[in-house]
Amino acid sequence: MRQKSKNILSISACCLSSLLFFSVAAADHDHGHDKHESKNLPPVTNETYRQECGACHFVYQPGLLPAGSWEKIMNQLPAHFAEELEIEQGAKNVIADYLRSNAAEHASAERAAKILKSLNGQKTLRITEIPYIRKKHRELQQDIFSRQSVGSLANCPACHTSAEQGVYEDDLVKIPQ
């Protein structure tokens, strides 16, 4: 509701001059707004996933990886990168289902489509190895990652202040010291 009235305000502020221009610009504006919205990844909604998988690192939105990647991750829990994960079968099934059914293929977000396109069928285990994600960060100086406040590129919320909401807009990035 708030968003809507803001739209109307900004439309009337910029386009009152001509009725024709008004209607064209309004259509344009709406389109731009939808596009912006649809870039964002749906935030995490599953509490089991949040609890079991958020103990050591950020709870990545399922839309950041394809279903095949999540499946591989969930099938390799005893060798989860450097860790040995033990998750009770019931919880494991809940998490696997949640990740599979909300994976990049099922997220309508523009970013999820870009991730899938850049992976081109590969099932990487790491979000940080997705070509699209690497490309977006290639200009960052390496020394940023050795800062204690960052640690690695996998620590999305260190720099993306709205990572928790699934919003990775570049104007909401703040690199910590």
Contact residues toward ligand HEC (CB under 6 A) are: 52-53, 55-57, 60, 64, 73, 80-83, 85, 87, 95, 111, 126-128, 133, 136-137, 140, 144, 150, 152-156, 158-160, 168-170, 173, 175
**Smallest distance from ligand HEC to CB 19, Å:** 35
Please tell me the distance from the alpha carbon of residue 107 to that of residue 65, in angstroms, as a whole number.
10
Which residue has 């020394």 as its token pair? 143
| Nearest residue (CB) to ligand HEC, 29 versus 39 | 39
Please tell me the distance from the alpha carbon of residue 104 to that of residue 111, in angstroms, as a whole number.
9
Nearest to 97 by CA among 122, 67, 127, 120: 67
| Nearest residue (CB) to ligand HEC, 11 versus 165 | 165
Positive or negative torsion for Cα 47, 50, 53, 59: positive
**Smallest distance from ligand HEC to CB 97, Å:** 12
**Smallest distance from ligand HEC to CB 14, Å:** 24
**Smallest distance from ligand HEC to CB 12, Å:** 28
CA distances from 151 to 82, 125, 132, 137 (A): 15, 19, 21, 15
Tokens of residue 117, six digits = 């396109």
**Smallest distance from ligand HEC to CB 90, Å:** 13
